[in-house]
Structure 1
Amino acid sequence: MTGLDEHVESHSDSKHESELAASETDGVGTAYLAKSHLINQCLQNEVGFGRYQWELFILSGFGWLADNLWLQGVAIILPQVQIDLDPPRVEYITLSVYAGLITGATLFGSLADVIGRKPSWQITLFLTGVFGIAAGGALNFVALCSLVACIGFSVGGNLPVDGALFLEHIPQSHQWLLTFLSAFWSVGQLIASLIVWVYTMGCLTFAMFFCRYAIFQLQESSKFLAASGRDEEAIHVLQYIAKRNGRNITLTLEKLKAANPGASDYSENGSVASLLKKSFSVFSLEHVRPLFSTKMLFINSSLIILIWGTIGLAYPLFNGFLPLYLADKLHASSSTNQTYRDYSITSICGIPGSIVACILVDWTRKSGKFTIGGRKMALALSTILTGLFLFLFTTAKDEASDLGFSCAASFTQNAMYGVLYAYTPEVFPTPHRGTGDALCSAFNRITGLLAPVIKIITTSRDGGSSSIGANAPVFVSASLFMVAALLTVLLPIETAGKAAL
């Protein structure tokens, strides 16, 4: 008898009681819960982590890279746009990109729970590349803002899907790699600081899309298929991945169906048109209610969405205008090259943060009745340190201090985002993961939309300080990071050491 056979047999005896209790906590039905456990067993013990997942890791990383590439690319061109196009307020470009990000995150994240992860994963970078190339030829400020909004729409739908898709293809033993994807985030910022030109960024993004679509044969998530009642397709996906990894699986369609015979929690049948119509009304609460279905889920989902929103305002208040802050700090002795040099150094310092985050997310220790460490501790620690370094940045009096504190903040911010992007999809179950990620990402972008508004209010037309003070946006950013750290401590669910449903 195989390990999976034994799992199915032993599972059937006390199945109803244990699954019912788990489903009340996880917000999923017993049919999907049983299938998810079998798929997790198959991924861990038979499919393993091999060639397919390594390829998926790199290509999913392109999504992280593209997201920050364009966010920082927009920030980087602000000083030059101010010179070349003389707009009434250069911050309107940042407003445009965030307007697009909100729409894209909501739409594509929601679509992932209705028509699957694969379509959104493939099309987002294609659209980003097209609009990015077009933005390189914008002839005026209005055209540039319009195309930047389209870029935001495309790239904004990428991250809510990428993390979910990668998580659902890997065994529990390798879930820490979801944290390491944040290294691509810093690489994106570094590339943006070195390239600067939007034509080049558009072509680079299009090349990443080509690798995803034409070179790699992406499989739909087996967990999404099982949640949709498409058990046979789920088995085919597992068989394909196992074969790519040079392995075989013993999990069969009969065993998967036996986990909950005749039952299927979710079924997405119908034409493409009907599915699209349903996806546009996805916030009809079919995938939202389960995220708040119990007291623990309500508290955890509410807090994680609030944390995303708080960080969503804090991060762009500093990073979205960092080239402007650096240029203003250098002032009399400054040059554009010197500003971008310091910005590139700051970008490089963010990359090691991903490595530290990977070490911290699975580090846990028992202390009496309590367990310390894990995702929550790593997230709280990196967030509070980010706030501290930004407070110190506002007190800096020379270039060395400015650069040092911005580098330290870049390091801790990248560690923070690495943990946040790992914890969030882990805490949402597969049937509703896309919607949960979409809610977090959309709220993150909505609050981010306020960043340029605050920047406009607190600084004058020529970049000088208003009565509020030039450091006011950075001070607000630092304070918000501190608030986010406090909210993290209050999260009731820890995902370290647990297989994602």
Structure 2
Amino acid sequence: MSSASSVRTQSLTGEGVSSGYELKCHLVNKCMQEEIGFGRYQWQLFILSGLGWTADNLWLQGVAVALGQVNVEMSPSRIEFATLSLYVGLIVGATTWGILADIIGRKLSFNITLFIAGVFGIASGAAPNFVALCSILACIGFGIGGNLPVDGALYLEHIPQTSQWTLTLLSAFWALGQLIASAMAWGFIGNYSCPAGTAVGDCAMGDNMGWRYLFYTLGGLTFLVFVFRFLIFDLEESSKFLIAKGRDKEAIEVLQRIAKKNGRTISLTLEQFQEIEPTGDKSPSMFKVLKGIISKASLSHFTPLFHTRRLAINTTITMMLWAFIGLAYPLFNAFFPLYLAEKIPNQDSSVSRTFRDYTIISVMGIPGSFIACVVIDWTRKNTSGNEHAWTFGGRKASLAAFTALSGVFLFLFTTSTTSAAVLGFSCAFTLTQNAMYGILYAYTPEVFPGPHRGTADAICSALNRIFGILAPIIKMATTTPGGQTSANVNTSIFIAASVYVVSGLLAVALPIETAGKAAL
């Protein structure tokens, strides 16, 4: 262990954190790995974090599948404004809740995001007009926008290093959200909607209740997850967040309570923390918390992400990946039911048939998560002693491969001329895309240090949503006001496919591999 004088310095290490914090994190990681383990508490947190990811994708897919019926009923000037409104809310939510997670803690953000999304989600089904619907969708986006970055950071900081692969497995819940939304749309929209081919404006509300039933149900499910999180599960604050704030005593108490829930005890003591870097009792009052929100709204959580050249390159590429994928994903997925209806021959098209196929496609996202879990740590033993030696598998190589393959399958989708080809290439794309997202969601919180993890995740998520706003804009630029594709049905899909391929190549240049390393 370093001498007291060297440990107590506040100079940043190569990971963008103070020496004292890093040494304390090593003690916490050792305690998590050797004494607390992955027990009852972690399983409960895994399920509740996963349900949060499910709720997030429930709304992304729910809005996507409802666009067609909203359009024929409310006859807006451009139906894409609904997706645009949702993404505006997502941007504000991702930025707000992610940064607050580094200032006031993960726990509050973890609980309140789904409360907001659930309340406005239930209200969305009663929207009287298109303007009201777009306003409510923006509020839903504000709630779920912070869900992914906060959930991923909080979950990662409560598990041992050998279980970090389960962060990738959380993407199965993301796929589950798409599946649930698709299956419900098949039942509600497929049976309680105006028939296919109904002219815009000729569909009465009473004949088109399917999408409203869908939104009521999705809102209820989202609020139910909030109830499970807030009223049933006894969530603990992140010990690494508490250490970063100098609240060592609370961090030890948190670890002791988690160990007790797992039927374990720990040997880590406050004295061991104090030997590294003494701290006083820094438990803040509510006044200090509110004051901190204002005073710490600075670059103190941003600049450490670029502290060294290697870290700066990795941070920049990671954020670029989130931005580019943020454009490609909604450019295809947010309007996929519309593409599906246009691609399927007229004799095979119907509202029910479209959502049946969409449900089948959604199922394929789940095995993508399990495949990603297998390859991210496969044969990564390094016998040469060279930490830079290349080995098969790991986060970077797997991310690059699945991202590029997603683009390839989208290019093949554009060549589809039969229902079978459309379905086949769509299933392949959904599998590789979900594997890609699972790895990206795991790699991002792993590669950023705890004191700045919430801010880094927030910026990545915000960039993802900001570029996502371009998707409906591009869609509007390539279609007529009626929503039908003008010159080329594949223009938007070509753009999405190209961005995926470029992102795959970009992922190869990431300098930091996180496989086999405990997160700080």
* TM-score using structure 2 length: 0.90
Q: Kindly provide the CA deviation profile for residues 429-476 of structure 1, in whole angstroms up to 9, marking residues without a partner as x.
A: 110000000000000000000000000001112333223x11111110
Report deviation, 1:259. Answer: 2.2
Q: Equivalent of 1:347, from 362, 370, 375? A: 362
Aligned mates of 1:282, 1:161 — CA distance in 2: 19
Aligned mates of 1:83, 1:200 — CA distance in 2: 21
Larger deviation, residues 206-215 vs 23-32: 23-32
The runs of 5 or more residues in structure 1 that have no matched partner are 1-10
Q: 1:331 to 1:201 in 2, by over 3 A?
A: same
Query: What one-letter code is carried by the residue in structure 1 that aligns with 2:377?
Result: D
Q: Equivalent of 2:145, from 156, 172, 181? A: 156
Aligned mates of 2:491, 2:266 — CA distance in 1: 58
Query: What one-letter code is carried by the residue in structure 2 that aligns with 1:416?
Result: M
Q: Is the 8 A contact 1:195 1:201 kept in 2?
A: no
CA RMSD of aligned residues (A): 2.0
Report deviation, 1:281. Answer: 6.9
- Number of residues paired by the alignment? 486
Q: Kindly provide the CA deviation profile for residues 396-423 of structure 1, in whole angstroms up to 9, marking residues without a partner as x.
A: 1111111111110100010000000000
Query: What one-letter code is carried by the residue in structure 2 that aligns with 1:354?
Result: S
SS in 1 for 2:79: coil
Report deviation, 1:280. Answer: 5.8
Report deviation, 1:222. Answer: 0.6
Query: Does residue 46 in structure 1 map to residue 35 in structure 2?
Result: yes
Q: Kindly provide the CA deviation profile for residues 10-60 of structure 1, in whole angstroms up to 9, marking residues without a partner as x.
A: x2469948x989943100001111110110010000011100000000000
Residue in 2 that maps onto 1:298 = 312
Report deviation, 1:371. Answer: 2.0
Residue in 1 that maps onto 2:196 = none
Residue in 2 that maps onto 1:134 = 123
Q: Is the 8 A contact 1:67 1:159 kept in 2?
A: yes
Superposed, 1:246-395 pairs within 5 Å as 246-260=263-277, 262=278, 271-272=285-286, 275-276=289-290, 278-279=292-293, 284-333=298-347, 334-363=349-378, 364=380, 366=382, 370-372=389-391, 373-395=393-415
Q: 1:279 to 1:449 in 2, by over 3 A?
A: farther
Report deviation, 1:320. Answer: 0.6
Report deviation, 1:300. Answer: 0.6
Stretches of 4+ aligned residues off by more than 6 angstroms: 19-22
Q: 1:259 to 1:74 in 2, by over 3 A?
A: same
The runs of 5 or more residues in structure 2 that have no matched partner are 186-213
Q: Equivalent of 1:473, from 492, 497, 500? A: 492
Residue in 2 that maps onto 1:459 = 479
Report deviation, 1:284. Answer: 1.5
Q: Equivalent of 2:135, from 146, 150, 161? A: 146
Aligned mates of 1:214, 1:328 — CA distance in 2: 45
Q: Equivalent of 1:191, from 180, 185, 199? A: 180
Residue in 2 that maps onto 1:491 = 510
Residue in 1 that maps onto 2:198 = none
Q: 1:146 to 1:55 in 2, by over 3 A?
A: same
Superposed, 1:112-261 pairs within 5 Å as 112-196=101-185, 197-260=214-277
Query: What one-letter code is carried by the residue in structure 2 that aligns with 1:165?
Result: L
Aligned mates of 2:518, 2:362 — CA distance in 1: 33
Q: 1:137 to 1:350 in 2, by over 3 A?
A: same
Q: Kindly provide the CA deviation profile for residues 321-346 of structure 1, in whole angstroms up to 9, marking residues without a partner as x.
A: 10000011125221000000111011
* TM-score using structure 1 length: 0.93
Q: Percent of counterpart pairs with the same letter?
A: 58
